[in-house]
Amino acid sequence: GITPYKAVAILSSKKAEDVADGVLKSKIKGTGTIIIGADTVVAAENKILGKPADERDAASMLYMLQNNTHQVYTGVSIIIKTPIDDFRKTFTECTNVTVAPLTPEEISAYVSTGEPMDKAGAYAIQGLFAKYITGIQGDYSNVVGLPVARLYRELNLLLRKII
């Protein structure tokens, strides 16, 4: 019942908070520490596709994505710890990705490489699956897992508030 947009914001925030809590518990004071947490999901047909449980699950996801356009959402949370306060920012980036029609043989061959097994949506755009991508609207690095250009802009804005 949660949207992909909201899910990645919550997950990235939780990751960043967990690291921040660890910094506080460690011998490191945390002053001047920048923590970045990120999480990415693939969404198709109003369904969040995480990492596949097994090869059958991977193939099922790829059948859903093939010959279609889906969304990749990445949530990023930034925490900057200073002597005075903590500064926080969470944002979500979305990229549309279009996949070519795939044959059952192509899906089976890709799954057999093992590449989809630890990837949200069962594919890596920067890997062997790249040849099946027919279009992308948005930030390529977001699909890889971290929207670098947006992170740079948001981090700069946050640092300007502090300095």
| Percent of the chain's residues with pLDDT above 90 | 80
Would you say residue 28 has pLDDT above 90? Answer: no
Sign of the C-alpha dihedral, residues 47, 49, 54, 57?
positive
Would you say residue 77 has pLDDT above 80? Answer: yes
CA distance 4 to 133: 21
**Position with higher pLDDT, 23 vs 99:** 99
Question: Catalytic: which of 18, 39, 57, 139?
Answer: 39
Position 26 confidence tier, pLDDT thresholds 50, 70, 90: low
pLDDT tens, position by position, 86-124: 889 999 999 999 999 999 999 999 999 999 999 999 999
Position 84 confidence tier, pLDDT thresholds 50, 70, 90: confident
CA distance 40 to 94: 10
CA distance 62 to 6: 24
Q: How many other CB atoms are there within 10 angstroms of residue 129's CB atom?
A: 21
pLDDT tens, position by position, 124-152: 999 999 999 999 999 999 999 999 999 99
Tell me if residue 57 is catalytic: no
Orientation of helix 55-65 relative to helix 104-112, angle to 10°? 140
**Position with higher pLDDT, 80 vs 84:** 80
Q: What is the pLDDT of residue 30?
A: 58
- Print the SS3 string covering 90-104: EEEEEEEEEECCCCH
Q: What is the pLDDT of residue 16?
A: 96
> Residue-wise over 5-34: b if at least 16 C-beta within 10 A, else e?
eebbbebbbebbeebbeebeeeeeebeebe
Would you say residue 53 has pLDDT above 80? Answer: yes
